[in-house]
Each structure stands twice: as structure tokens, then as C-alpha cells.
Amino acid sequence: MEKALIIEDDKDISELISIHLADMNMEVDKAFDGKDGLMKAMNNHYRFILLDIRLPELDGFEICKRLRMEKNNTPILMITSKSEEIDKVLGLEMGADDYISKPFGIRELLARVKAVLRRTERMLQGEDQDEIEIRCEQLYINVGMRIVEINGERIELSPKEFDLLVLLASNPGKTYTRMQLLNKVWGYEFEGFEHTVNSHINRLRSKVEKDMSMPEYILTTWGVGYKFREA
């Protein structure tokens, strides 16, 4: 049975969510403060994590940041405040896969959970079925195994960084607007959050480019968006 982690200090909300996830045949762990949640997330394997931002001890932003720094790429669905648009932006920039705003309906929550599971399931299927390899100069990408190397050295990318790189590298020379990248990589129309793409592109460049000020692979089409270099 697959496991999910709910990090939410409101015990009534946590219990309600856990009941519905159990109906999806999910085993659920719960944490009611940030420190306990981070410890559980680091020491167990979860299919996904539901993470509230406003937590005692350690907030959701810091938990997300630390997990991504430790190369923990478990999908994170962040619970934000409806009145705080900046929470949604920061959550995505920290490496969250999606967000849902309080107050939310249980149907909406389960739809978001299922969308995250479908996306990651496609990734897992790709590991078994895809043997696509992309090579460009010193850059090597194995799409099925989700491996990226520069000069033979393994580069660790977050799921969104990897998906961005594969999309661009699979279509060399094609320019994507920030909105197109949000739609294709995140799977939703995150209207107003286009600069989130900039943050992910910058982090991706810091890992694959020799010189971020003169990128060789991920190029900017000024006033439009980004593209991968043509061969």
C-alpha cells in the first residue's frame, strides 16, 4: 500500500483529509508541526506530501526547501492561504508541485491529488518504457531513467527542473513562452506566476551551464521566453 504524509497543524482538517485518502487505498502518516513533518518526510518514502505553509516550529516553505536541497523529490502539494497570492508563488519557486488554497472542498483536493499522482505515474512508467537519450556537447539526458550528466558527472535535478530541461532539449530551437512552460510542465494555467519559470530556469542553468551569464544550452529569446540551443 502506498503512503502519503499530511503535515497540517489543524487536526480536524488533517483527519478529514486522511479519511478520504484512506478511501483511495492510501496509508496516511500525519504530523502536526513542521519539525516532526520534516523528520518523517526525510526518513520515510511517500507517494506524495500534503504540506501546509503555516505550521508551528518550522513553516512549509522551509520544509519544502530543505527536502529539495536534500534531493528528496517526493511530489509536494502545498496548502496555501487564499488571500496570500505570494504564498502560491513562493511555494512553486521552492519546488512544490502544486498548491491548493484554503478553504477548499474535498473534491477539489482529491482532484489535485489525483492529478499529481497521474503525472508522477507517467514518470514511473517512463522509467520502464522510455529509452530516449538526448546528447548535446557535454550534456547527456536519459529520459526514461531521469538521469542528467555533464561531462560524465551526474547532475541532480528536481522533478520540475528535469521536466523543463527535457521539454526544451526535445525541441531544440523552439521558443516557449513562460505561460506555455507553466502549462506543459506544471499542468495548470498558473496565471500571473510566469516569473516562477524564471526561478526554475535560473536554478537549472546553475546546474548545467558553465557560465550562467553566457549559457550554452538554455537560451533566452528576449521578450518571449526560452529555448534550447539548436544542434
pLDDT 10s digits, 204-215 = 999 999 998 899
Residue 104, CA distances (Å) to 26, 54, 82 in order: 20, 16, 9
Whole-number pLDDT of residue 129 = 45
Whole-number pLDDT of residue 51 = 95
Tell me the C-alpha distance between 34 and 226, whole Å.
36
pLDDT 10s digits, 99-133 = 888 888 888 888 888 877 776 665 555 544 456 88
**Do 93 and 199 touch, CB atoms closer than 8 A?**
yes
Tell me the C-alpha distance between 21 and 200, whole Å.
30
CA 171 from centroid of its chain's CA atoms: 21
Whole-number pLDDT of residue 6 = 96
Tell me the C-alpha distance between 54 and 84, whole Å.
12
Nearest one of 161, 209, 40 to 50, comparing CA atoms:
40
At 9, which helix (H) or strand (E)? Answer: none
Residue 208, CA distances (Å) to 99, 141, 157, 204, 217 in order: 28, 11, 10, 6, 8
Domains and CATH numbers, the chain: 3-126 (3.40.50.2300), 131-228 (1.10.10.10)
Whole-number pLDDT of residue 175 = 95
Whole-number pLDDT of residue 179 = 86
Whole-number pLDDT of residue 140 = 94
Residues in the chain predicted with pLDDT less than 70, given as ranges, are 82-88, 119-131, 187-194, 231
Amino acid at 213: S
Q: The whole model's pTM is what?
A: 0.64
Q: Which string of DSSP letters, residue by residue, matches 104-153?
A: --HHHHHHHHHHHHHHHHHHHHHHHH---EEEETTEEEETTTTEEEETTE
Whole-number pLDDT of residue 127 = 47
C-alpha cell at 101: 488554497
Whole-number pLDDT of residue 42 = 94
Whole-number pLDDT of residue 182 = 83
